[in-house]
Amino acid sequence: MAEVLIYVDHVDGAVRKPTLELLTLARRLGEPVAVHLGPGAQEAAKVLGEYGATRVLAADAPEFADYLVVPKVAALKAAYDAVSPAAVLVPSSGEGKEIAARLAVRLESGLITDAVDVEPGEDGPVATQSVFAAAYTTRSRITRGTPVITVKPNSAAPEAASAAGTVEELEVSFDDAARGTKVTSRTERESTGRPELTEAAIVVSGGRGVNGAENFPVIEALADSLGAAVGASRAAVDAGWYPHSNQVGQTGKSVSPQLYIAAGISGAIQHRAGMQTSKTIVAVNKDSEAPIFDLVDYGVVGDLFNVLPQLTEEVKTRKG
């Protein structure tokens, strides 16, 4: 059976959920072989094996942390040379897309980014993308070289499927180009304890209707009851009520959670562009004519300051 390379996104061996989703999708195409770069390969291999990785090619070197992106491309290329896979799947993060693009150039292969599904096809994998603010769905196939595909978080539900997950050392050497951009300092962001916006299974977002930074705890309380990430419209962010890093939309982050709750957000096209592929969309808006209601699965016409606290309480009660 053909092998499929999976680039592992992890923090010191703690594998992030998008990688488990990739393993689940990869099993449709062949036998997943995971590429783990940096520390924690043994720990990661247990999880990667549980989700179907037959082998885990592991390399650790200071270059992965000290220089941006290119050393990781060199390692993924070394894994490619060792395996000759039928396809390479990479999580669609900013870094993932850069790694995938650089690898595709090295392989002289075609590249598809931000896929929301990948299926086997007669002439190779077929990837689905949601484009033009999700107004169109396209299906594409790579016609040149080995397909390199990045897949958006939350595109598949991770399904366990036990495999060996045998760790094998990957030999990697770095040329001068790999050391082209050095990291000069690192400052850790204060943790909110909430999931990463682009990876979260549930996102609760607030807009201009929240009417001030002092009211955002209403959004945060609902998010915390659901274990969700907090998003915001550009209007809320531009008003200084919430950090820019939480903006959802065309000029913010693109999210595709299982559940997206928009509170006090009108549903402008630029906001929709960043959340329209969410599986279930719920809106709370006091204007029954708000365009967001054209998009939703469930809509509540009401004042968010009345609806959200009740919803939060109900979630807490049901969770016991």
Ligand X SMILES: Cc1cc2nc3c(=O)[nH]c(=O)nc-3n(C[C@H](O)[C@H](O)[C@H](O)COP(=O)(O)OP(=O)(O)OC[C@H]3O[C@@H](n4cnc5c(N)ncnc54)[C@H](O)[C@@H]3O)c2cc1C
Residue ranges in contact with ligand X by CB under 6 A: 207-209, 233-236, 247-252, 264-266, 268, 270-271, 274, 284-287, 290, 303-305
DSSP line for 281-310: EEEEES-TT-GGGGT-SEEEES-HHHHHHH
How many Cβ atoms sit within 10 Å of the Cβ of residue 17?
17
Decide whether 153 or 264 has the Cβ nearer to ligand X: 264
Beta carbon of residue 189, minimum distance to ligand X (angstroms, whole number): 21
Nearer to ligand X, 86 or 292 (CB): 292
State the minimum distance, in angstroms, from the CB of residue 245 to ligand X: 12
Q: At its nearest, how many Å lie between ligand X and the CB of residue 191?
A: 24
User: How distant, in Å, are the alpha carbons of 22, 25, 46, 132, 277 from that of 117?
Assistant: 10, 8, 25, 17, 12
277-155-111 Cα angle (round to 5): 95
Beta strands in 70-206 (DSSP E): 87-91, 111-119, 126-131, 136-141, 148-151, 166-169, 202-206
Cβ-based nearer residue to ligand X, 71 or 252:
252
Rounded Cα distance, 82 and 58, in Å: 12
Which C-beta is closer to ligand X: that of 147 or that of 252? Answer: 252
Amino acid making up residue 260: Y
CB of 307 to ligand X, least distance (A): 8
Is the Cβ of residue 85 or residue 249 nearer to ligand X in the bound state?
249
In this structure, what token pair is assigned to residue 314?
């109900």
Q: At closest approach, how far in Å is the CB of 239 from ligand X?
A: 9
* Interacting residues of 14 by C-beta distance below 8 A, sequence separation 6+: 40, 43, 44
Q: Toward ligand X, which CB reaches closer, 38 or 252?
A: 252
Q: How far is the CB of 183 from ligand X (least distance, A)?
A: 28
